[in-house]
Amino acid sequence: LALKKTSVFLWVLNDVSSDANPYSNVHVGSGLELPILPEVSQPVNSRTFYGIMFDAGSTGTRIHIYKFIQKDPVELPVLDNEMYHAVKPGLSAYKDKPEEGGNTIRALLKVAKKTVPEHEWKQTPVVLKATAGLRLLPEEKANALLDEVREVFGESPFFVPNNSVSIMNGTNEGMPLCWYVTNISQILFYATTRKTVGILDLGGGSTQITFLPKSKKTVFTAPASYIANINMFNNTLQLYTHSYLGKGLVAARLATLGALGADGLEWKVFTSSCLPKKFREDWTFGGITYKVSGIPDGYAGYKLCYYEVMRVVKGIVHQPFEIKGSSIFYAFSYYFDRAVESGLIDGSRGGMVEVRDFKKRAKEVCNKMTKYRPISPFLCMDMTYITCLLKEGFGFKDNTVLQLAKKVNNVETSWALGATFDHFNNLNIH
């Protein structure tokens, strides 16, 4: 395998003719650029390819449009660029109005049509994968939404592969695919360096952890479903990976408030010491509206909030054997967003923090809720939940280092790019 500085992760399509597969005679791959280069004039014989991946999450739907360039027929393409756009709320909010959910997909497809040149539409695959938001819905409502998306995809000018619309299972959402992307440079040299980084992701409906165990005891003591075998570069690696449904940041709010599965929502008010005393408003998640409030005549603050949140986490999240070690973890999504909102890191650069830093900032936010209320009345609850999830849930030490990031190598950090690779693999890619 010939390696280049700018081309380190490679996928190759079979050279097999097929009218049903527009990629049958195309070599498609990706290499992460460090950094991704600006637009440059392309050689006359270069070719450009695109892939479109929809991430249908619990709080929003995101579209990732990837551009690959093959500068020479004998060379593999590299990932040249990514366009990312999102809309809110997520598809699950339209559980009783699937047609309106379909309209959000139509709107994002208009973005894709403006991004992908028209002559590339017919050979550009479009795929949607739903996560926790739809897994939390009754099956018939989730299926109605997926059928609507299939109909919208059928109307589009893009290439729609088989099984292009689906709900990801917990293992896939546990982000072996995102782990691929984050660890690309380390993976190729793992045999000599034995170094990779772990992944933590915190969505609205679920939370995920993925890392490559260094200890066999971690593999032997973990539930069997938490260990995934993945094949890369003719090597099989065993990843520890799991997605906790219902333990995402927004779902955890409902659990902390005692609102999960509650009835009488039209008159019940759900209170918490994690909310400002004078706070009271209607809050909507997954298409359901809840009346939430602080405790007007009660106490509020970090200690009481931590006690409330701990009931949601303690004993429910598995603690891997080696998690108390000194490994570095990348933390994405709401980990990053709440760290920015609370002033823990700079939003434009991200940053490296320790678990204890989340705890310290959570205390500051909870004990000065009035100050932070304009940012979000839920900031105390969210920061306390993150602290509790890391410490009481996964079992991280206070000094565990977390690299908070929105992008890695100028690519939006999610499973979407890895899933695009994987879907290309299903289109006869080695």
CA distance 286 to 288: 6
Q: Which whole-number Å values give the CA distances from 400 to 33, 172, 218, 330, in the listed order? A: 29, 25, 18, 11
d(CA 382, CA 346): 18
Tokens of 216: 């066999």
Q: How far apart are CA 384 and CA 302, in angstroms?
A: 7
Per-residue H/E/C for 59-115: CCEEEEEEEEEECCCCCCCEEEEEEEEEECCCHHHHCCCHHHHHHHHHHHHHHHHHH
Contact 336, 404 (CB under 8 A): yes
- Does the annotation list 208 as a binding residue? yes
- DSSP H helices in 194-285: 216-221, 249-257
**Radius of gyration in angstroms for the set of CA atoms belonging to the chain, rounded to a whole number:** 22
Contact 335, 202 (CB under 8 A): yes
**Residue 120 among the catalytic residues:** no
To the question of whether residue 395 is assigned a binding role by annotation, the answer is: no
Amino acid at 239: L
Instruction: Name 68's Cβ contacts closer than 8 Å, sequence gap at least 6.
Output: 28, 29, 30, 48, 49, 50, 51, 77, 78, 79, 80
- β-partners of residue 69 are 48, 78
**Candidate list 33, 82, 148, 173, residue with the active-site label:** 173
Closest by CA to 292, choosing from 304, 281, 276, is 281
Say whether 123 counts as a known binding-site residue.
no
Query: Which residues, at least 6 apart from 63, have a Cβ–Cβ distance to it below 8 Å?
Result: 52, 53, 54, 55, 83, 84, 85, 86, 108, 111, 112
| Residues identified as active-site | 173
Binding site for ATP: which residues? Answer: 204-208
Annotated binding site: 204-208
